[in-house]
Amino acid sequence: MLKISKEIAARFPGVTIGIVQGECAKNAFADENAYLQQARAAEEETRKIANLAEQPNVAAWRKMYRAFSEDPTKRKPSAEALAKRVLNGEQLPRVNALVDCYNLVSLRNLIPVGGQDREKIVGQMVLRFAREGESFTPLGAKEIQQANEGEVVYADAEKILCRKWNYRDCEEAKIAETTTKFVLVVDGAAGIPAEKVEGAANELKAALEKFIQRCSANTSFART
């Protein structure tokens, strides 16, 4: 499902990326109370963190952002941004069952997780550098942005799916209430051991199959 470009593999060696794809009868909870119990527990653990930037997985992703000339203090990797909201007293955001589940796993592992509706992906998903002049419609917005040449993006044959590796998903392929087929990406970084990424991907698979109505998923891994 995921191809990593030769240029990305050469620039960022030692990265493991987990891919969790599958389908569900409906993007809705089968056991929402069990999900909420785990969400509250994850928030409680997160609020014990004294210095988020010094957490190994967060530090690894900050280094990765700087490697493609992005300031992680201005645009944070998604897992750090999620944890920051919780540290500021918020609860995990509620979007829909699939998104809620992957946000929970992202928070518990401090590893970025994102996803798209598989039926809205055209051709193969590729992790590559953005090209000059490529456009992007951010999640929840209508205005079109221009990606920066050389930033890291997920893309399909027609569009950018996610900017700055895991900073912002696109509107066109978002996971919505109507989504029943999905592909989720667990983003490892150089400095995050492969087994940590594999563990988070397997944890996500288990959460989906436990919490979401008649959901089945499988995991695979891509490596640089």
CATH code of 2-223, in short, is 3.50.40.10
What does the CA dihedral 56, 59, 60, 64 come to, rounded to 10 degrees?
170
pLDDT per residue of the chain (224 residues) written in tens, 0 to 9: 799 999 999 999 999 999 999 999 999 999 899 999 999 999 999 999 999 999 999 999 999 999 988 999 999 999 999 999 999 999 999 999 999 999 999 999 999 999 999 999 999 999 999 998 898 988 887 788 888 899 999 999 999 999 999 999 999 999 999 999 999 999 999 999 999 999 999 999 999 999 999 999 999 999 99
Both tokens assigned to 83: 């944890």
d(C-alpha 24, C-alpha 215), whole Å: 4
Rounded-to-integer distance, Cα 115 and Cα 166, Å: 10
Give the start-to-end residue ranges of the domains of the chain: 2-223
